[in-house]
Amino acid sequence: MSEAYTGGCACGANRYEIDGEPVVSVHCQCRDCQHKSGTGHGSYLAFQGAGVKLTGDPTRWDLVGDSGNVKTRAFCPTCGSPLYITNAAMPGLIAVHAASLDDPGRFKPQMVMYTVRGHAWDSVDPSLPTFEKMPPA
Ligand SMILES: [Zn+2]
Ligand SMILES: [Zn+2]
């Protein structure tokens, strides 16, 4: 088994440790990910929640995403770093932000989704498969 994925927020108050490999790794250009990242897309690794150990006390808020599903976002109330997302449409999965990893180089994106919301100034690796919205299940 590979080394655990570890990471957390910028100030260190919230940490995670994850056993197992990502189910999927994506860039998402939806409007919500733009707001939260402050730039053109968010980058995530989604894991089975059972393997995720969290420490700290993040603030959470719910929103209805472009997909129409409720998503819960967790971020550090001290430093504001986004930490992870859960999605009512994908129970059991938890998606962490690529740059929250202690070693962000372990992020291996497989696709770009919600390109319908993407901006001309936010070009992502053109060799990746793209989906206008969610990829087909
Ligand atoms: Zn923090
Ligand atoms: Zn998104």
Take residue 90 and report the two structure tokens written for it.
């994908």
Q: Tell me if residue 49 falls in helix, strand or coil.
A: helix
Q: Which ligand is nearest to the CA of 112?
A: 2
Whether 124 contacts 37, CB under 8 Å: no
In this prediction, residues 12-18 reach a mean pLDDT of 98
- Mean pLDDT for the stretch of residues 114-119: 97
Q: How far is the CA of 15 from the centre of ligand 1 (A)?
A: 9
Neighbours of ion ligand 2 (CB under 5 A): 28, 30, 33
The residue ranking higher by pLDDT, 134 or 79, is 79
What pLDDT does 112 receive? 98
- Is the pLDDT reported for residue 26 higher than 90? yes
Please compute the mean of the pLDDT values over residues 101-125 and round it to a whole number.
97
Which ligand is in closest contact with the Cα of 29?
2
The band of 1, judged by pLDDT with boundaries at 50, 70 and 90, is low
For residues 72-100, average pLDDT: 94
- Give the phi and the psi of residue 42 in degrees, each rounded to 5: -110, 155
Q: What is the pLDDT of residues 33-84, one digit of tens each?
A: 999 999 999 999 999 999 999 999 999 999 987 778 899 999 999 999 999 9
Residue 47 one-letter amino acid: F
